[in-house]
Amino acid sequence: MSSNGGAPYGSDDTTSFELQPPQPIVPYPGNPYAQPAQVAPQLPPPSLQDPGTGRLIAGRYRLLAKLGHGGMGTVWRAKDETVDREVAVKEPRVPDHLSERERANAYERMRREARAAARLDHPSVVNVHDVAVVDGRPWIVMELVRGRSLGAALQEGTLGVREAARIGLEVLGALEAAHTAGILHRDVKPDNVLLGRHDRVVLTDFGIAQIEGETNLTDTGGFVGSPEYIAPERVLGQRPGPASDLWSLGVVLYAATEGVSPFRRSNTPATLQSVLNSTPAPPASASGPLAEVINGLLEKDPARRPTAARVRDLLEQAANPPAPAPTQVVHHTAALAAPAVGKGVRLGPKTLLGLGAAVVAAAVTAYLVVADPFAGPLPDGWKQRDLGTKVGVSIGMPAEFTKDKIDPEETDGTIAQYSDPSGLIRIAVDRDIKKDDEEGEIPETALDKAFEDWTGLKDGEYTIDIADEPAPKGGPKETKYQGRDAAENTVVYTTTDSRAPRLREARFLYYRATGGDMYRLWIDCPGKGHFTEEGREIARTVVETLEIDNL
């Protein structure tokens, strides 16, 4: 059951009644699923309250604030005055145009939702406390899971392999418990996966679950669920089984790492056709055991999909990869990193396009912080990488980062670029060599180079994905690198992605060596939302471990 009312986010999703897009979830003040926050200890002023706020249900559940609503219900944050605890209460809400039979089916479906979840004893399934019948309508009372949905998290960026595998394991556990109890969920999707406190993952919305031995409530000629996550056999009207839920889990994992369902199309019929006939491209961000899970679960033939036991084994491998070899202790006294993008950036147009595309896919803001000089061993799982004699630097980074392919004719080998498996974080270093500067294009100081880049960026001279409006914000300034003059810039910009423009922040560090060579370190990482702290810590340590060969 869903603490967001069972409403999907995508425009192609269906309601439980017909193949029509539902209304999206509407966030309300105090909605912990829209944005984690402290819950207000008292009701808002009457002028700001939702109609129904303060109502007492079944003599004990006081409605405090709406959390959201969807096709089948409105979810309220409420106070159980009998035991003095906050709960989530799902109010039945069905379209006015439904017939009495359809209305009765809707109410029965909500009762089954409660029964299905109540039969399951698993930490990844929402606990149902009560079903209060008011005027013949069942109000479901369940635990209040503070957090947000996976769907909401994916609006800000994709997941890394380990995090996606961890969440997948929790959802798999909930599905295994349901299948053992004879229950098919039938609507596994990111919006029905809640990310709670203390890394808890909860599968919600058993509103359209099929309980073994009970009558199917689906009207003739229709089906329920979200098209882009529905298994092919269900689209064909065949009898579903546990493998159908596992298919949906595979689509969820694909969306979690790639940013979108591989079957989403512009309308419902096209989406269903893609589920039946399209072979999705292999996931680009997932690799190893996780990629094997995704590819296996998206087999059209349910008999060819891996078993739940095999999926669990692969997800555990992905979530807990073997520990890397011990790294050497390296002492550094580097200063800060900085940002900017600009004219003459030796990351040529092709490279900038590639990096910009990853930035859009990540759809999160990048942010770095100034840190004290690094003077200790690299973090566990990190390694110091020598970027080669052409680039002439070494930097520390997580071991799972991989080197991106760059056209050597574009860079002359003087650029190195790395990215983490999720595409959320990119690290790039480039070097302009003085002896090759026949036209005298290398500025005299690092600050001059930073201003040159910043001017070019504002004038739109670069292919990186930065929108003209609102204009990027930033401004170069002086800093120090290992006690020497350097420059930095922080550029805050909006991407040009028409579907989901995102605010981002990039930072650069510029340093001109004594011999005239110009170095630039560019780090772009999440700075807003679910991955903020992890991104900042990675960025801070990368900057601190920068070592330039020829100072």
First and final CA of the chain: distance in angstroms? 61
Residue 458's pLDDT is what?
A: 74
Q: Which residues are catalytic?
A: 187
Q: How confident is the model at residue 248 (pLDDT cuts 50, 70, 90)?
A: very high
d(CA 443, CA 432): 10
Residue 522's pLDDT is what?
A: 85
Given a cut of 80, whether residue 439 has pLDDT beyond it is yes
- Kindly state the percentage of the chain with pLDDT values over 90: 25
Q: From residue 146, how far is each of 2, 127, 152, 155, 274 by CA, in Å?
A: 13, 13, 13, 18, 35
- At 304-335, the pLDDT tens digits run 999 999 999 999 999 988 765 554 444 433 33
Residue 479's pLDDT is what?
A: 87
Q: From residue 131, how far is each of 65, 92, 283 by CA, in Å?
A: 19, 11, 42
Amino acid at 90: K
- Of 217, 15, 187, 16, residue with least CA distance to 105: 217
Residue 242's pLDDT is what?
A: 94
Q: From residue 34, how far is each of 58, 146, 361 by CA, in Å?
A: 27, 10, 21
90 assigned binding-site residue: yes
pTM (two decimals): 0.51
Q: 500: which residues sit within 8 A by CB, 6+ positions away?
A: 155, 363
**String of b and e for 142-172 (b: at least 16 CB within 10 Å)?**
bbbbbbbbbbbbbbbbbbbbbbbbbbbbbbb
Name the more confident of 379 and 339. Answer: 379
Residue 348's pLDDT is what?
A: 39
Name the more confident of 123 and 28. Answer: 123
Q: Say if residue 476 is preceded by a cis peptide, omega within 30 of 0.
A: no
- At 463-506, the pLDDT tens digits run 456 777 788 888 899 988 888 899 888 777 777 766 566 677 77
Residue 286's pLDDT is what?
A: 84
d(CA 185, CA 1): 10
Residue 324's pLDDT is what?
A: 58
Residue 295's pLDDT is what?
A: 95
CA 512 from chain centre, in angstroms, equals 38
Q: From residue 313, how far is each of 166, 318, 541 by CA, in Å?
A: 12, 9, 33
- At 510-541, the pLDDT tens digits run 999 988 999 998 887 766 665 666 777 787 88
CA dihedral 482, 485, 486, 489 (to 10 degrees): 120
DSSP letters, 151-198, are HHHHTT-PPPHHHHHHHHHHHHHHHHHHHHTTEE-----GGGEEEEGG
Name the more confident of 254 and 404. Answer: 254
- At 15-61, the pLDDT tens digits run 222 333 333 333 433 333 333 333 344 555 554 556 778 899 999 99
- At 63-95, the pLDDT tens digits run 998 887 655 678 889 999 999 999 989 887 766
Write down the mean pLDDT value for the chain: 74
Task: Give the pair of three-digit tokens for residue 332.
Answer: 């550094």
- At 380-436, the pLDDT tens digits run 888 899 988 888 999 999 888 888 877 666 666 688 888 887 667 788 899 999 898
Q: How confident is the model at residue 262 (pLDDT cuts 50, 70, 90)?
A: very high
Residue 267's pLDDT is what?
A: 86
- The number of beta carbons lying within 10 Å of the beta carbon of residue 514 is 8
Residue 64's pLDDT is what?
A: 93
* H helical segments located in 298-348: 308-319
Residue labelled with tokens 């997941």: 159
Residue labelled with tokens 């090759």: 436
Residue 25's pLDDT is what?
A: 36
